[in-house]
Amino acid sequence: MEFYRLGLCLLLCSQQLFADSFWSHIPGKGSVQLTELSAEQHQSLAQHLQLDAEQTTEWLNELPTLLETISCSTVDIQGQPLPAYIDASYQLVSYAGALKFRTDDKTKQTIWWLPWTLLPTLSQLKTQLTDLNSHLHQPLLIAEQELGIKGQLIIVSGSSISQPAYFALKLDSLANLELLWSLSASAPGFTDLAGAVGQPLLIEQQKGSPGLSLLLANTAAKDPKTLIYKVDMMTGLLQAKLAAEQNISGVSGAMALSDQNRDSVSDSLVFGSTAGQIWQVQLEHNQFYQLRAVADLSALNFSDIQFIRTLYAAVPVGGAGSDFHSRRSQWLVLLGALRQQNTVFVVLKAQSEDVSSSSDLVDRTLPESPELALLTSQHWQHIQQKSGWFSQLSGRLTHIPVVAAGVIYLNLLKPNTEQLCNIEQSSSALMALHLHHASAVYRQPSLPLDHAAGALKVKANTQGGFALIEQHRQQVLIETMLEISPDCTHCSKTIQRDSFPRWQLMGTYHNEEGAYE
């Protein structure tokens, strides 16, 4: 009887092992499937894990269960679909560097890529993932159109805090995953790399530097010598470093590039600390310069920053009534930060001289009853004269908000802490806020959703306007989208499809030369 039980157990274990495939990269030996190791590879793994051969086999047998536990430890699991030329049925999710290629297609297997440096500490990963006060960033996918190489995809990801490393994978099919490069503290120029939980940022073609580059944040908690590394995308070779000057530490993994001089080349980087200090630095020709503080929002008690984005907009500056039409074109910094596991959304005007603090922002959190959500003229004037607004949202942002026609659409999720991985058990909502004063634009300020929404898309509807859809299920969330209008503070109108493409005359110049005889 015991023998049968053991046989059944072995059968089940092996079934699980064969159902998924697990890849890693043994330094000097190349990519290996952990379930099909040769004796020599098995020995290398045993040495790396500091286990004997038997314990290593046991570790390998327990790997599927361990990874299953890891997949159920976090809410930040927004999968990115792989491009169609690889396999569009797969989605990529990163669990602090452990990459999972998952699919709903039962005939296809789940593929895991585990960084070699992460293997010894894999069992400790769960503790890091269950910390809902920090945000888990997802990898960067660089597709063939950006690479200029047909059929190729490059995935760049950061790995856990205990063994910090950034790595890049190159693939032309899911059966052919290859490590392109891996950067840890042992790599030349990266000795002070102490945290790699950031989202890598791609810099497209810059003046004076051919090829693509990446920005990698050193998310070390204490006194890092380097804040940000600029590396070559294909080789991982160091191109530039942003040295810490002003006692900056605890850089969050969220960064955003913008084109301040509007010449189609990104030249400015905005980044922040997990506590909410925001900085801006200029970037040109492999050089960082003019590092300056933009805002200090540490009084808002953030535990991490989920994302930072910039937006160029015409912001009202005139006040109320007849002055309403005065506007100034300027850069806005949009950021989502975690506070007690909920999101605080901030719209900040990037002032060139002053460092904004939280007291310069107007609290525009929507009250429970929508009729109380009044925008007083005092608040409105304060928003226009000072640095912007913030709104506390009930739930956690799952995707970068979409700003469409001056309305910010936010995807929120209230995770069920008992069942973190089962996103269907969590309640979700979609919120739509006015870009300039955070009032509700639609009659209902928050739209409860049956399923947690994935990435949002704007799509033409049958009524000659635009609808907001959830991309994964193709579910219509808002049938007719509205556009804010500059005619008055709360004015809005339906976006008409026939108004696109929109032409705007920026200027006309006359030139006369020559003479009559």
Q: Which residues bind another protein (CB under 8 A)?
A: 76, 78, 80, 135, 137-138, 199, 259, 262-264, 306-307, 309, 311-316, 327, 329-330, 397-406, 435-436, 455, 457-460, 466, 471, 483-486, 500-517
Q: Provide DSSP, 152-181.
A: -EEEEEE--SSS-EEEEEEESSTT-EEEEE
Tell which residue, 194, 166, 69, has the closest CA to residue 122.
69
Which residues, in sequence order, are CB contacts of 360 under 8 Å at separation 6+?
386, 387, 388
Determine contact, residues 285/329, Cβ cutoff 8 Å.
Answer: no
Considering the complex, what minimum distance in angstroms separates the CB of residue 3 from another protein?
A: 50
Considering the complex, what minimum distance in angstroms separates the CB of residue 53 from another protein?
A: 41
- The alpha carbon torsion through 379, 381, 387, 390 (nearest 10 deg) reads 20
Considering the complex, what minimum distance in angstroms separates the CB of residue 343 from another protein?
A: 11
User: Which residue in the block uniquely carries the two structure tokens 């074109």?
Assistant: 329
Considering the complex, what minimum distance in angstroms separates the CB of residue 378 from another protein?
A: 22
Residue 356, judged by CB atoms within 10 A of its CB (0-12, 13-18, 19+), counts as buried
Determine contact, residues 474/400, Cβ cutoff 8 Å.
Answer: no
Q: Cα separations (Å) of 409 from 77, 157, 258, 311?
A: 20, 27, 21, 14
Comparing CB distances to another protein, the nearer of 120 and 318 is 318
Considering the complex, what minimum distance in angstroms separates the CB of residue 124 from another protein?
A: 24
Comparing CB distances to another protein, the nearer of 15 and 326 is 326
Considering the complex, what minimum distance in angstroms separates the CB of residue 118 from another protein?
A: 21
Comparing CB distances to another protein, the nearer of 78 and 160 is 78
Beta bridge partners of 161: none
Q: In the structure encoding, which two tokens stand for residue 504, read together? A: 């705007």
Comparing CB distances to another protein, the nearer of 32 and 348 is 348
Considering the complex, what minimum distance in angstroms separates the CB of residue 32 from another protein?
A: 29
Considering the complex, what minimum distance in angstroms separates the CB of residue 513 from another protein?
A: 6
Comparing CB distances to another protein, the nearer of 187 and 458 is 458
Comparing CB distances to another protein, the nearer of 76 and 296 is 76
Does residue 331 come out as left (phi exceeding 0), alpha (psi in the -120 to 50 range) or beta?
A: beta
Residue type, 436: H
Comparing CB distances to another protein, the nearer of 147 and 187 is 147
Considering the complex, what minimum distance in angstroms separates the CB of residue 71 from another protein?
A: 18
Determine contact, residues 100/82, Cβ cutoff 8 Å.
Answer: no
How far, in whole angstroms, is CA 360 from its chain's centroid? 27
Comparing CB distances to another protein, the nearer of 132 and 313 is 313
Comparing CB distances to another protein, the nearer of 266 and 277 is 266
Cα distance between residue 484 and residue 498, in whole Å: 17
H/E segment holding residue 310: strand 304-316
Considering the complex, what minimum distance in angstroms separates the CB of residue 225 from another protein?
A: 28
Beta bridge partners of 484: 492
Q: Provide DSSP, 12-33.
A: HHHHHHHHEEEEEEETTTEEEE
Residue 455: phi and psi, rounded to 5, are -65, 145
Considering the complex, what minimum distance in angstroms separates the CB of residue 334 from another protein?
A: 9
Largest CA distance in the chain: 116
Comparing CB distances to another protein, the nearer of 366 and 469 is 469
Comparing CB distances to another protein, the nearer of 264 and 369 is 264
